[in-house]
Structure 1
């Protein structure tokens, strides 16, 4: 009796000790880079000078600092890595990456011991063959859960993933008591299904893309069943908070609701979270702790501007791990004080050295002369008046299309050209404008005028469809009340400037006192409103059924930007050339150009309203008489007042 009781006490004590030995608390730091867009070195190839504001080499210093602060850390990249600046074009097109060579992105990243990478939408811009050649140089695995082989059989049950959909990586961690454990860290990645529109020519018949949320709901339970202790989602997808729709491009907000996900490392929309004030007050979003519906999440800007951090606390009862808390943060490589950019870290010289050969090759490639301009070319006023930086692109596209339609059934149709300002401030900052001084034009200046590797497309539209195109583009502007005396901001900052198409070949007015016909998703919301007025071709009003050819790019022609009647069905010419190459060849053919805009559009009168817009501080020296400099704002932009034409 006494022996049995003593044995029970000893057994209970032993079990309690065993339980204490197995219980553990682990702190895990997850680091993220995203949307590097080939900004590996801290260099601005368009300005042809060193930069304190960009570069993986600067983020590398932050990575090393963040790792030194944490016993346990992992590092992920969230894509849009291989395209985005002249270095990316040089590797893909200028010298052409060969099989067996290591892409410079991985010469740099392999020095930083990444755990996993996700595929971004711009990874497909140069085609699948180039993508696979590039990925072969990475010393870390890549994942994506919503891109599948196109087997053509319409049977979803047998679809095979094109990439490894997820990874469960046994990772040695040390708990707060100094004991080591093996933590099965699960990673799952996603890309916007819109890749099938944006890179239609590269992907059709080869792959298909599925919905992000459906893919998460399919694979996250499978990851748990296969032993994942913690699940990290890496969506190359922004965070917008509207009602969820099938095939959502920016699905992160809704992804946070998927059960089983413990952290989200997101990207794509080039914003910073936590810290994005547009998300303040949104249900489920906590900017202070960096959580979305309780899930810690981070998005670290673009071009190497920030490092994202998520810190998780995990506890084990001896059998299972549970995430008990988590927060997120971002760290910047630089900060702005007035008009000055103050670097916060130095570049990691090893990263810059790793890409030195390709960097020097890019500089030589970009400095080649292709033409000469008789006047300065800038985009300072591209959002408020017809602009020379857009005019050159439209002139080149029209010239090109006139040549390729000769001898075809389309010869004789009026040719219009659509182009948008790609560098017009915004999130890029007060220096992010095209600014080419008169004189020699080099290839770097062409890339400055047209920064994306788009393909030329020609669509056939009616007069009514052309006008609706312009109505959608006019979403660039806020509605102005002509009777209000208080200052009013003209530019809608949430509208991407690359969607502000100017269509040359016709003349028109934009009446900003009218509401927008279309919302941000391209839905007709104000059918009685008409911002685009007095539309003429060759001096005569454009007729509703009048036929036009409009030269544009693959992004727009295939549905990018949610423009009416632009879904691929109206494309009549799939040209073999890229828009940027067309601009370069046009300049070579002209030798010397006059970049003056033809003023084919202007604003309709808006009364005595005080209308303000922001631009580069350099604009003060070249502003027209219809503009009055007002001030420099706290972000370093020059504020101007625009006078109404009466």
Structure 2
């Protein structure tokens, strides 16, 4: 008789320090967000399965909220950390590290990792100078109940893969995920792994840049059996997206192997059920089912794990809210980005002004400012969320303006490199056919936060042209260019001329799949974070006031229109005389070219 068994695998990813059901960006409770509310669902899925269940996290759990920053800055980041207590309370089996887990430096991350009970694994991320406090892989022996009533032990091998770190500090080293896989996977089999699970902090769509397509190459490795994904804040499988020979959105497979990605912020739980059979080749996957469970879709009992997480987190959470509500300045203007990447917006204008002033004061040069909607959301998740009304600006508002720990850089770029930078940013948009109405404006696989606008310049974007591929670093041929008529102070930007661009160190070092700037061309890096620079700028101003600039516009196309999804507040901020209007009651807006 052939023995069979069932195994359930649960995944969380990109929690970004959301623990107690609160949206710090909007400063309001959100019962469907965070690891606390998700604990009820994890508890229920474990109890329901009747099978051996393993729980994994795919990284980016340590950074992302004001609470995370406060814990680290107050020296509470390495002992009794609420996220460590939560992961231990829920009895995670293993976790891997994402790029943002490195944001606070190796000392903070090492201290955190040492308090964790689950295995911590990464095959391609290591500490540059210190002993790396995590392993390249782990072998987890787990008992399963077989179909004949007997018990068997399965050795589950688990390893992890981080994306390249686009940061200026040298405390961490990453190697190519494929290289790391070819070094690590044979060692896992030699160590006795019956089943190999790859915790891959990457997605399946190359339009996200970085290592976002790394999952596809890992799935092609023969030793990998199951993939758990993250980093891009998407969900996989997603029936709204098209399948291909490699990516099956219906079955939830990459190269035929089960895979899942559970969004972000603890709003959903990934689940893979495996049917296993034991034969001459050992344990093999005979069938699988992939699901994503959304928090709030189920009426569930309040679990002991959730109570424990809230008990340990709420004191620090309340202190953070008090700090977030403290005033630091005033604005006479409404600061919003409801129409970001549809037309220049006030938030981007403010951040550009700050960048240009800071570069001018530190380097003595006038810079072009590269600014994207710095909001951690994907295009598929709906509207962008910054909206600060005239009046007080609080600490929380500054956090909303820029939630990351990036520093500022001033970099030297040629006019041709500036044009290529803008060409890549224009990948945000679909190709629009002249003479057709109601075409979708945005490429939903390209996040808004990788769509840089260049303040200080003026230029046009021609969406009748196809987007240029990310791999094309040479200036696009004239006939293929989306970007045209680039000028600075009324003078054309010349391909061979040199210009100074202010940007984040994340972008300067290749974040988002952009071309990394050579060290010799990085002429200045700030000693403090961009968010601290924003805060200081607001504090020193009596009241924020500025004049909006015309930076870019779409090339005109008669009898042509596109649709994009917005929110109800966007109707209040449509510029007068613009070609944007609310078209449908479901929040779709129309842009007439």
Fold match (TM-score > 0.5): yes
**2-side partners of 1:344 and 1:599: how far apart?**
50
Say if 2:90 is the partner of 1:112. Answer: yes
**1-side partners of 2:16 and 2:547: how far apart?**
31
* Aligned match for 1:510, one of 461, 468, 471: 461
1:63-102 maps to which residues of 2 (within 5 A)? 63-71=42-50, 72-93=52-73, 95-97=74-76, 99=78, 101-102=79-80
Q: Which residue of 1 aligns with 2:500?
A: 549
* Aligned match for 2:559, one of 597, 608, 633: 608
Shift in CA distance, 317/181, structure 1 to aligned 2, threshold 3 Å: same
Q: Which residue of 2 aligns with 1:47?
A: 26
* Aligned match for 1:629, one of 582, 587, 590: 582
CA shift for structure 1 position 316:
3.7
More displaced stretch, 27-36 vs 470-479: 470-479
1:301-320 maps to which residues of 2 (within 5 A)? 301-316=263-278, 320=282
Kindly indicate whether the alpha-carbon contact (under 8 Å) linking 2:359 and 2:366 is maintained by their aligned counterparts in 1.
no
Q: Which residue of 2 aligns with 1:288?
A: 250
Shift in CA distance, 373/475, structure 1 to aligned 2, threshold 3 Å: same
More displaced stretch, 551-560 vs 592-601: 592-601
SS in 1 for 2:511: coil
Q: Which residue of 2 aligns with 1:262?
A: 225
More displaced stretch, 560-569 vs 112-121: 560-569
* Aligned match for 2:6, one of 20, 27, 32: 27
CA shift for structure 1 position 220:
2.3
* Aligned match for 1:56, one of 14, 35, 51: 35
SS in 1 for 2:583: strand
Kindly indicate whether the alpha-carbon contact (under 8 Å) linking 1:314 and 1:324 is maintained by their aligned counterparts in 2.
yes
CA shift for structure 1 position 643:
3.4
Kindly indicate whether the alpha-carbon contact (under 8 Å) linking 2:386 and 2:400 is maintained by their aligned counterparts in 1.
yes
Q: Which residue of 2 aligns with 1:169?
A: 140
| Gap regions ≥5 residues in structure 1 | 1-19, 153-159, 336-342, 406-410
**1-side partners of 2:26 and 2:111: how far apart?**
30
Say if 2:216 is the partner of 1:253. Answer: yes
Shift in CA distance, 429/397, structure 1 to aligned 2, threshold 3 Å: same
CA shift for structure 1 position 565:
6.8
CA shift for structure 1 position 150:
4.7
Normalising by the residue count of structure 1, what TM-score does the alignment of the two structures yield?
A: 0.84
Q: Which residue of 1 aligns with 2:293?
A: 331
Kindly indicate whether the alpha-carbon contact (under 8 Å) linking 1:107 and 1:355 is maintained by their aligned counterparts in 2.
no
SS in 2 for 1:69: helix
**1-side partners of 2:439 and 2:428: how far apart?**
14
CA distances 1:36-92 after superposition (whole Å, capped 9, x unpaired): 111112110111101144211222111111101123111111101111222222222
More displaced stretch, 596-605 vs 31-40: 596-605
Larger Rg: 1
Q: Which residue of 1 aligns with 2:395?
A: 443
**2-side partners of 1:586 and 1:306: how far apart?**
38
CA distances 1:423-445 after superposition (whole Å, capped 9, x unpaired): 39744634542111111001111
Q: Which residue of 2 aligns with 1:11?
A: none
CA shift for structure 1 position 522:
4.4
Kindly indicate whether the alpha-carbon contact (under 8 Å) linking 2:379 and 2:446 is maintained by their aligned counterparts in 1.
no
CA distances 1:392-436 after superposition (whole Å, capped 9, x unpaired): 11111112122212xxxxx3x332211111239744634542111
SS in 1 for 2:445: coil
CA shift for structure 1 position 166:
0.8
Kindly indicate whether the alpha-carbon contact (under 8 Å) linking 2:271 and 2:292 is maintained by their aligned counterparts in 1.
yes
**2-side partners of 1:315 and 1:565: how far apart?**
47
| Gap regions ≥5 residues in structure 2 | none
Shift in CA distance, 605/320, structure 1 to aligned 2, threshold 3 Å: closer
Say if 2:202 is the partner of 1:237. Answer: yes
CA shift for structure 1 position 311:
1.2
Normalising by the residue count of structure 2, what TM-score does the alignment of the two structures yield?
A: 0.91
SS in 1 for 2:67: helix
SS in 2 for 1:448: helix
**2-side partners of 1:67 and 1:312: how far apart?**
14
**2-side partners of 1:110 and 1:35: how far apart?**
17
Residues paired across the two proteins, number: 585
Say if 2:439 is the partner of 1:491. Answer: no
More displaced stretch, 378-387 vs 599-608: 599-608
CA shift for structure 1 position 587:
0.4
Say if 2:593 is the partner of 1:641. Answer: no
CA shift for structure 1 position 630:
0.3
Kindly indicate whether the alpha-carbon contact (under 8 Å) linking 2:145 and 2:151 is maintained by their aligned counterparts in 1.
yes
CA shift for structure 1 position 576:
0.7
**1-side partners of 2:485 and 2:237: how far apart?**
45
Shift in CA distance, 577/424, structure 1 to aligned 2, threshold 3 Å: closer
* Aligned match for 1:520, one of 458, 470, 476: 470
Shift in CA distance, 102/428, structure 1 to aligned 2, threshold 3 Å: farther
1:243-642 maps to which residues of 2 (within 5 A)? 248-280=211-243, 282-316=244-278, 320-334=282-296, 348-405=306-363, 411=364, 413-423=365-375, 426-427=378-379, 429-430=381-382, 432-482=384-434, 484-516=435-467, 518-523=468-473, 526-528=476-478, 529-564=480-515, 566-594=517-545, 596-624=547-575, 625-626=577-578, 627-633=580-586, 638-642=587-591
Shift in CA distance, 474/569, structure 1 to aligned 2, threshold 3 Å: farther
Kindly indicate whether the alpha-carbon contact (under 8 Å) linking 1:42 and 1:50 is maintained by their aligned counterparts in 2.
yes
More displaced stretch, 107-116 vs 505-514: 505-514
**2-side partners of 1:139 and 1:564: how far apart?**
39
Say if 2:162 is the partner of 1:191. Answer: yes
Shift in CA distance, 125/222, structure 1 to aligned 2, threshold 3 Å: same
SS in 2 for 1:631: coil
**2-side partners of 1:249 and 1:426: how far apart?**
14
Q: Which residue of 2 aligns with 1:408?
A: none
CA shift for structure 1 position 606:
2.3
**2-side partners of 1:344 and 1:623: how far apart?**
40
